[in-house]
Structure 1
């Protein structure tokens, strides 16, 4: 299949094992074709990589590379098991409205993702690459292995954060750093009662757990949840930015 795509003009994208037919997320009206599965509605390029006997398709090379990598499912992943344990502690009996799973890339605004991605999914290699990048990131929290950010609702709106770390000492440092950065960076409408703790996870890992329930009332969009995601979407360093604390 990859060879067939190369015959159609797909070329090496720069990411290992990934081919593409143009520039990622670049609008190209002249290339729009509703019958072509390898172009988006705006004519943007698509990228492909082989995974066993199958081919994965994505809108950018990094996503295709990650999708094709041999990795355990989330249910088998110690990082996600740890984050889930932390989230359960963080939100308690609050209702989770929505949630997003994050990788360390979420906290690396301004860093090329290929500098830290490990196509093999090897955790030790990922840890090493993360450590190598921290000096370039400025101020922030200790580098996490992954995590979950949840939009939660109880008597007030809030956010539950759970980040996986190698041990509980680092996790507590991270939880305290997140709480401190929240007061500094999250904005007035997202301020409220903050708790910062840890929760033991799988395979010796530990979760930094932080919850914030905002003082503001009546906003149909959760300001605490927005304080994390909107900053990320704008490409700016936020509360969960990795760096030197």
Structure 2
């Protein structure tokens, strides 16, 4: 049975609605280095992260994976699939983009200032999570799901968060999309401002035989906002992989 690897976003892992649906297969919930009690690497980069994930698979004796990445985890999933295509049977890119948004260095500098300003002003990660996470979920999302997202981000060490946000601004695989070898599913939230459907449509068109599912009314955390719709799209894709 192929292992399903989950790569979370900058806010940390909040996969609880997904885990029961994946009970049929082994699941590797792999935290970004520095998250969930893991040590940071000497270098925070996509190349270093991808190598660390490959080493984890080797250590656990996992030859191939079905790889699902959310947001920056989707960027890492894309990067990993390009670096180690022989290790990826299927690829799910969720609420993510093929490159950081701005080509102008001034855009990255402004982005970093905005993202890190609350921490620079003395706020802690709990305050950052309480302020920033709820608006990312659509109105009506169950309170326990909102709290799960807030708690995941609040528990992220500040040093890991800062390094990960900076790493985000370095990402650019836009010109490599045609080289993705694995069958690919893209999942977008209809109202996601960070990875809007139009951006993911362009990704789909650039990746050979990729499929895109847009979940109505969802924002950046569709697996918490609409667990049934999200798991339905994911399980359909995984079933097609099993059936060949």
TM-score normalized with structure 2 length? 0.22
TM-score normalized with structure 1 length? 0.22
Tell which structure's C-alpha radius of gyration is larger. Answer: 1
Higher helix share: 2
Higher strand share: 1
